[in-house]
Structure 1
Amino acid sequence: MTFSQALTRLKTGQLGAGWMVVASLLFALMGVFVKTGSAHFSAIELVFYRTLFGMLSIGVVVLARGQSLATRHFSAHLKRGLFGYFSLLLYFYAITQLPLATAVTLNYTSPMFLAGLSAWLLKETLGPRVVMSLGLGFAGVVLLLKPTFSADAWLAGAMGLGSGLFAGLAYLHVRELGRLGEPEWKVVFYFTLISTLCGLVMMLWQTPSPLGMESLGMLAGLGVTSTLAQLAMTRAYRDGNKFVVANLAYLTVVFSSALGAWLWGDVLPLEGYIAMGLIIVSGIFASRR
Structure 2
Amino acid sequence: MQSLWMLVASFLFSIMGVCVKLASVDYSTAEIVAYRGAIGMLMIAMLVRFQGGTLKTDMPRHHLVRGGVGVISLWLWFYALGKLPLAMAVTLNYMSPIWIAAILLIGAWWGKQRSITWQPVAAILMGFAGVVLLLRPSIHTDQVMGGMLALLSGMLAAWAYMQVRQMGLLGEPEYRVVFYFSLTCAVAGLLGALIGKSVYAAAGDVTWHHLDSKGIMLLLAIGVTAASAQMAMTRAYRLGNTLVTANLQYVGIVFSSVWDLLIWKVSLAWLSWVGIAVILCSGLIATFYNAKTNRKSIPGDAISSE
- TM-score computed with the length of structure 2 as normaliser: 0.86
**Is 1:82–2:68 an aligned residue pair?**
yes
**Is 1:172–2:158 an aligned residue pair?**
no
Identify the residue that residue 252 of structure 2 maps to in structure 1: 252
- Secondary structure of the residue aligned to 2:142 is helix
**Is 1:36–2:26 an aligned residue pair?**
no
Q: Distance in 2 between matches of 1:67 and 1:225?
A: 23
Alignment of structure 1 residues 157-236 onto 2, 5 Å: 157-205=147-195, 206=197, 207-236=207-236
- Secondary structure of the residue aligned to 1:145 is helix
Q: Distance in 2 between matches of 1:102 and 1:136?
A: 16
Name the aligned partner's letter for residue 264 of structure 2: W
Q: Distance in 1 between matches of 2:191 and 2:105?
A: 34
Name the aligned partner's letter for residue 70 of structure 1: K
Q: Distance in 2 between matches of 1:28 and 1:213?
A: 22
Identify the residue that residue 56 of structure 2 maps to in structure 1: 70
- Secondary structure of the residue aligned to 1:31 is helix
Deviation per CA, 1:57-85: give whole Å up to 9, x if none: 10122133442211111111111111110
Q: Distance in 2 between matches of 1:243 and 1:186?
A: 24
- Secondary structure of the residue aligned to 1:258 is helix
Stretch of structure 1 that moved more, 251-260 or 203-212: 203-212
Q: Cα RMSD over matched residues?
A: 1.5
Q: Give the deviation of 1:198 after TM superposition.
A: 1.4
Name the aligned partner's letter for residue 123 of structure 2: S
- TM-score computed with the length of structure 1 as normaliser: 0.91
State the identity %: 43
Unaligned runs of 5+ in 2: 198-206, 290-306
Q: Distance in 1 between matches of 2:156 and 2:141?
A: 23
Alpha-carbon spacing, 1:147–1:276, altered in 2? closer, same or farther (3 Å):
closer
Q: Give the deviation of 1:89 after TM superposition.
A: 0.6
Identify the residue that residue 266 of structure 2 maps to in structure 1: 266
Deviation per CA, 1:25-68: give whole Å up to 9, x if none: 11111111011111211122111111111011101221334422
Q: Distance in 1 between matches of 2:55 and 2:220?
A: 25
Identify the residue that residue 5 of structure 1 maps to in structure 2: none
Name the aligned partner's letter for residue 166 of structure 1: L
Identify the residue that residue 41 of structure 2 maps to in structure 1: 55
Q: Give the deviation of 1:163 after TM superposition.
A: 0.6
Identify the residue that residue 126 of structure 2 maps to in structure 1: 136
Q: Give the deviation of 1:147 after TM superposition.
A: 6.7
Identify the residue that residue 96 of structure 1 maps to in structure 2: 82
Q: Distance in 1 between matches of 2:27 and 2:239?
A: 37
Stretch of structure 1 that moved more, 116-125 or 94-103: 116-125
Q: Give the deviation of 1:120 after TM superposition.
A: 3.2
Q: Give the deviation of 1:148 after TM superposition.
A: 4.5
Identify the residue that residue 242 of structure 1 maps to in structure 2: 242
Q: Distance in 2 between matches of 1:147 and 1:32?
A: 22
Unaligned runs of 5+ in 1: 1-14
Shift >4 Å, 4+ stretches: 121-126
Deviation per CA, 1:85-125: give whole Å up to 9, x if none: 01111111111100000000000111111111233357475
